[in-house]
Amino acid sequence: MIITSYKKVNEYLLLNTDCGKIRLIPYSDSIVRITYSREKHFSPKDSLMIIWEEDTCANWSLKESHDKITFITKALQIDINKHTGAFTYYDSLGNLLTKEPAHGGKSLESIDVVKTVFDESTQIRATQSVDGIRSNATDYKKIIDRKAYHTKLEFIWEDGEAIYGLGSHEEGIMNLRGHHQYLYQQNMKSVVPMLVSTKGYGILVDSYSLMTFHDDMYGSYIWTDVDDEMDYYFIYGPEFDEIINGYRELTGNTPMLPRWAYGYVQSKERYKTQEELVSIVKEYRKRKIPLDLIVLDWRSWTDGQWGQKSFDPERFPDPTEMMSQLHDMNTKLMVSIWPIMASGSNNHSEMSSKGFLLGNQANYNAFDEKARKLYWNQANDGIFSHGTDAWWCDCTEPFEADWKGELKPEPEERMNINTQEAKKYLDPEYINAYSLLHCKGIYEGQRNTTDHKRVVNLTRSAYAGQHRYAAITWSGDIASSWDTLRKQIPAGLNFCVTGEPYWTLDIGAFFVGGKSKWCRWCDDKNIPAPWFLAGEYDNGCNDLGYRELYVRWFQYGAFLPMFRSHGTDTPREIWQFGEPGSIFYDTLVKFDNLRYRLMPYIYSLAGKVTFDNYTIMRSLAFDYRDDNNVYNIADQFMFGPSIMINPITKPMYYGKNSKKLSGIEKTREVYLPKGYDWYDFWTGKQYQGGQIIESKATLDIMPIYIRAGSIIPMGPVVQYTDEQLDAPIELRIYIGSDSCFTVYEDEGDNYNYENGSYSLINLKWLDDNKTLIIGNREGSYKGMSSYRQFKIVIVSKGHGTGIDKQINTDKIINYDGNEIQVTF
């Protein structure tokens, strides 16, 4: 590629080449949009992921030498080779960030885009699968619809540079260097086309087609299947939080979830009746086990009406009364809804009559705004109007062609199976975007209906920008094993590093048993069990091996953005794992209580997500980018700025079928990032950073370390998140360096915060003179307590440790909203 000429056009730089043209737009000092086209005009299509709201771009300048053109902002410098078109990216000080190969890194390959045409000869066949009703079209035509391009964007990444992101994937890869990843939506794959580098930059690709990431000795590149042009954003940080801030500036603000969404979520496949749902919550309240949300999985509808958004009148005779009973017990309800509707249901008939169904005559067309509005109206009339609180938008891929067969297909084969099925019904250019638009319809529908309830939408797929629709993504129908638990940790971390902040999973895994459980799903014993029935514990919670695995999963889950148990094959309620006094039961209750004690910390972090574009669940490189020892650590992470979580991912007590294990040390290695001292949360013992230690990991303990220079606000043990909101706050101060923390509070479940109805209390610890400053309260909200009591605990060995409320506090401060300084 040779640069033949260039010019400044309005606020951007236009490069003309012998292979097309390239446009550079500085959206800000740190964000540059780069578009490469071989067409006469750049594409006029609106982006589905980008909603940049600024009217003007950043100032920039240009330098030229005999062999290059240099594009300069206050934060970035991009050198463009005149002879090859290769881009090299530097920070403002001239430090290399990344570069394209010397021959140039951008290429477009012209292709024909094929469209599927359905007509009167098309046949539709509906089948019952493990994952619900599926409809498949046959006897259709394929025609060439238009021209487009494969795109390929190449890089030369440095040795020792770590790359993260791309969404949630099941393989268990942390650092993407040296790996290949297909990007398409599937039951256990959620795609976000965003990369983040430890060199201090991110790359967001504005494409919705099949993509691949590739990095090995033969080259490093991002490839897209169908696009009008190459379009991406280079985002400079250099810190991960700054990169994510740029991502959210491009893709939109993350709304506040309600306070209750951060409490414990009880779910299983499935609660079948109104009476059962209510009785489960009563039992939680009777046992004084914290709970905020219970979930009604699929088949709330009448049998034979798959996907109908309503309650079966026989099993749920009075859903409004059911909601009243649940709310009286301070519990919310999430209901599963699907984009698939069976023929013969009222919802299906209405969608079909208006032409709002895709070619399989089962999935509604989420790309059609009118179809999205009708979908919301159906959900509102049949479910939300009864007082329900949250949505579970299941199967948002929305196709699952590989969810069959005895053998798990190889990655390339799975990619082909799934993407070909998606291309049959969706435009090949947009096969990854269904979930994004589906979530948009739910969010806009509820916001237009009421502002008294914040939107909560649990979804199995994701795409860039979905966070702005109050979406929480979970990792799909995983199978129970220690290996799965281990792989889920980097899956969640790579999802959150993309800028999408809310991720969760099925604690204990969805499929607990293996292929012997096939009879639950299929009456024909001659049909072989499919590959994904890969759980290792056929006896479920009766197996002590599974109980141990579940406890460890639960400990990890208590430190996810959403704390949620779900699955099939075995019950999931806490008392199913033992009774009070048993190690399993007591440990589950202990970590549930710990989650609730940390609620002032957690909800304040949620406020930072919305107001500061923060990320709660953080790979270690977020905060310790300068420590290359953390780059490949896949089983430790930060929960907010202060708490380091170290899940246990191997059995120590029991194997499968309750086989007792012996000779296994009840410890795990923990790396303490350098630059800080660290406190053992359970003992208060202090350690120097930059070392690996052996940490106690008995069944009732998951190693947790607190960074020196931290302030952690803790509340009392409560039964639900809105209980005792004015209770004293225990401030645990981990000395060793200066620290600060902002306590965020609001009304909990409406959108008044958008109009300034919230408060902030800034806390600051000055380590040299051992002084705590509680700043003037900023703001107010309805129901705010004008008086707060802070119980100060200076943590040391054996003092201010573990979950128990500290009885011997170091000082009690009665706070009326005015600044107080206290020296210790």
Phi and psi, residue 760, nearest 5°: -130, 135
* Contacting residues for 312 by C-beta, under 8 A, at least 6 apart: 299, 300, 301, 302, 303
C-alpha to C-alpha distance for 368 and 376, rounded to whole angstroms = 13
- Is residue 182 classed as helix, strand or coil in its secondary structure? strand
* Contacting residues for 212 by C-beta, under 8 A, at least 6 apart: 180, 181, 182, 183, 222, 223
> Which neighbouring-strand residues pair with 295?
334
- Give me the count of residues in the chain: 824
Interstrand relation of 390-393 and 457-459 (parallel, antiparallel or unpaired): parallel
* Contacting residues for 558 by C-beta, under 8 A, at least 6 apart: 591, 592, 594, 595
C-alpha to C-alpha distance for 626 and 591, rounded to whole angstroms = 32
Structure tokens at 496: 């959150």
Amino acid at residue number 808: N
For residues 289-327, b (16+ Cβ closer than 10 Å) or e, as one string? bbbbbbbbbbbbbbeebbbbbbbbeebbeebeebbebbe
C-alpha to C-alpha distance for 336 and 132, rounded to whole angstroms = 12
Structure tokens at 149: 């391009």
DSSP type of residue 323: H
Q: How remote is the C-alpha of 129 from its chain's centroid? A: 27
Q: How remote is the C-alpha of 371 from its chain's centroid? A: 26
Active-site annotation, residues: 394, 397, 477
C-alpha to C-alpha distance for 452 and 813, rounded to whole angstroms = 34
Whether 267 contacts 294, CB under 8 Å = yes
Around 764, how many Cα atoms within 13 Å sit in the side-chain half-sphere? 10
Q: In whole angstroms, how large is the CA radius of gyration of the chain?
A: 27
> Which neighbouring-strand residues pair with 805?
none
Matching residue, tokens 């590739």: 214
Phi-psi region for residue 596, left (φ > 0), alpha (ψ -120 to 50) or beta?
A: alpha
Q: How remote is the C-alpha of 554 from its chain's centroid? A: 18
